[in-house]
Amino acid sequence: MPELLNDVIQRAYIVRGGLPRMVLPDFAWVGGCSNSAGWPGPAAKRRPVTHEPCLAYLILGATRTLMVDTGHFAHWYSLEGQLESVLQGRTLDYVFPTHQEIPHSGNLGRLLQKYPKAIAVGDVRDYHLFHPEVDLDRLVPMKHGERLDLGDREFVVLDAIWKDLSGSMWAYDTKRRLLFTADGFGYIHLHDANVCGTMLHEMSAEQVKQATDRPAMPFNGMQQRNQAARVAAFRALMARYPLEIIAGGHTAPIMGPILQPTIEKLLATIAENKTGAAYLQSSPR
């Protein structure tokens, strides 16, 4: 195994792979990865070293812009510049944190400060306690099925089928047929694979297999519940909201011919009620 760079060893949150990336002219991928070699406790010694993408997305609508998730708190040193390069002088109108966990909402206060006209939308419960400096009228609750008009598309807020926290929400971009899945469809990759900043359809078949064999499934209680019923619910969602792209908080956008096989592979894993690879956290046990 190649020797790790010192900064990679020391930093738990890194940005590699040329982010931000304009996936489509109106859809950008920002953020970075967490790095197990930089974590406290036994995880830092674990080999092979793994990364978990910690991502956020920007939709550049015709009249409004929207950010899905806030990016990880520790990526702000890079994320702020990434946002500026994507927005190209436009302001940010909406921030949609998919849930109240810090990797998904930790930069909310910074974003609302940087973009004074932006408002947070979605399940915005709790954020007034986390960010008491934020005016309450900038935290606007939205419920399942409600829509935002971005000019050339609607952004539909959906209840999440697999939830990390009870405030988890998914969302759908009607123009791009794009489903944002929060912690769903997350994948961990190997440091040595050098695939940070790479989408599945850009990888070799071996890399795709390796990447999708390691689903990040941070959902407690999976094995205590009938997952077949939830897989059926996901299929019903797909029938109602046809998918061409999936973008999760812990995976690069999944699109093109590889989308359907990737969905089926994960649904099969879930239906069998296997938790897959352990979530990228250092176990206290």
Partner 1 sequence: MSRGIDRRRIMGGASAAAIMALLRGDPAVASVARPRSALESGGRRAFAANQTITALVPDRLYRVGCMVRAERLSWLPGDLDAWEPLNSYVLTDQDHCVFVDLGMPIARPAMESALATLVGSRKVWLHYTRNEYDCIGNLGLVLGTCRNPTLLFGSAGGILEWINDPAVSIMEVRDFLGRIPIEEARNDTARSLGDLRLRWLEAVAKQMLITQWVYEETTGCLFTSDFFGFRHARDDASAPVIDSAKYLPSVDVVAREIVARMNWMREAQYPAMIERFESIFQQLDVRMIAPVHGCVIRGREAVAAHVKLAVKALRAASALPDEERMRYA
List the interface residues with partner 1, window 59-88 (CB under 8 A): 64, 72-74, 76-77
CB of 185 to partner 1, least distance (A): 16
Q: CB nearer to partner 1: give 17 or 130.
A: 130
d(CA 143, CA 60): 22
Number of residues binding to partner 1, judged by CB under 8 A: 81
Q: How far is the CB of 242 from partner 1 (least distance, A)?
A: 14
**Nearest distance from residue 188's CB to partner 1, in Å?**
14
- Cα–Cα distance between 144 and 167 in angstroms, integer? 11
**47 binding partner 1? (CB under 8 A):** no
33 contacts 16 by C-beta, under 8 angstroms: yes
58 vs 142 by CB, closer to partner 1: 142
Q: Hey, which residues between 172 and 211 contact partner 1 (CB under 8 A)?
A: none
Q: Which is nearer to partner 1, 23 or 161 (CB)?
A: 161
In the complex with partner 1, which residue's Cβ is closer, 85 or 283?
Answer: 283
Residue 250 binding partner 1, by CB under 8 A: no
Among 16, 114, 147, 177, binds partner 1 (CB under 8 A): 147
Q: Tell me the two tokens of residue 234.
A: 């996901």
Binding residues for partner 1 restricted to 225-244, rule: CB under 8 A: 225-226, 229-230, 232-234, 236-237, 240
Q: Please pick, from the candidates 48, 90, 91, 149, the single residue that binds partner 1 as defined by CB under 8 A.
A: 149
Q: Considering only 11-19, 181-189, 201-209, 261-269, which stretch makes contact with partner 1 by CB under 8 A?
A: 11-19
First-residue to last-residue Cα distance in the chain: 27
Q: Is 26 in the site for partner 1 (CB under 8 A)?
A: no
Give the helix/strand (H/E) hosting 78: helix 76-87
Eight-class DSSP state of 186: E
Q: Which residues of 113-132 are buried (b: 16+ CB within 10 A; e: fewer)?
A: eebeebbbbbbbeebeeebe
Minimum CB distance to partner 1 smaller for 137 or for 206: 137
Of 22 and 229, which CB lies nearer to partner 1 in the complex structure?
229
Residue 277 in contact with partner 1, rule: CB under 8 A? no
Among 18, 40, 89, 116, binds partner 1 (CB under 8 A): 40
Burial of 19 (0-12, 13-18, 19+ CB in 10 A): buried
d(CA 127, CA 106): 10
- With tokens 């969302």, the residue in question is 171
Contact of 103 with 249, CB cutoff 8 Å? yes
Of the candidates 148, 179, 196, 255, which one interacts with partner 1 according to CB under 8 A? 148
Q: Of these, 87, 222, 258, 259, which contacts partner 1 (CB under 8 A)? A: 222
Q: How far is CA 33 from CA 12, 21, 54, 86, in A?
A: 8, 14, 5, 19
Cis peptide preceding 116, ω within 30 of 0: no
**Contact region with partner 1 (CB under 8 A), list: 160-168, 176-184, 199-207, 257-265:** 160-168
Token match 């002219």: residue? 25
**For residue 99, which phi and psi values (nearest 5 degrees)?**
-165, 175
Backbone φ, ψ for residue 55 (5° rounding): -120, 160
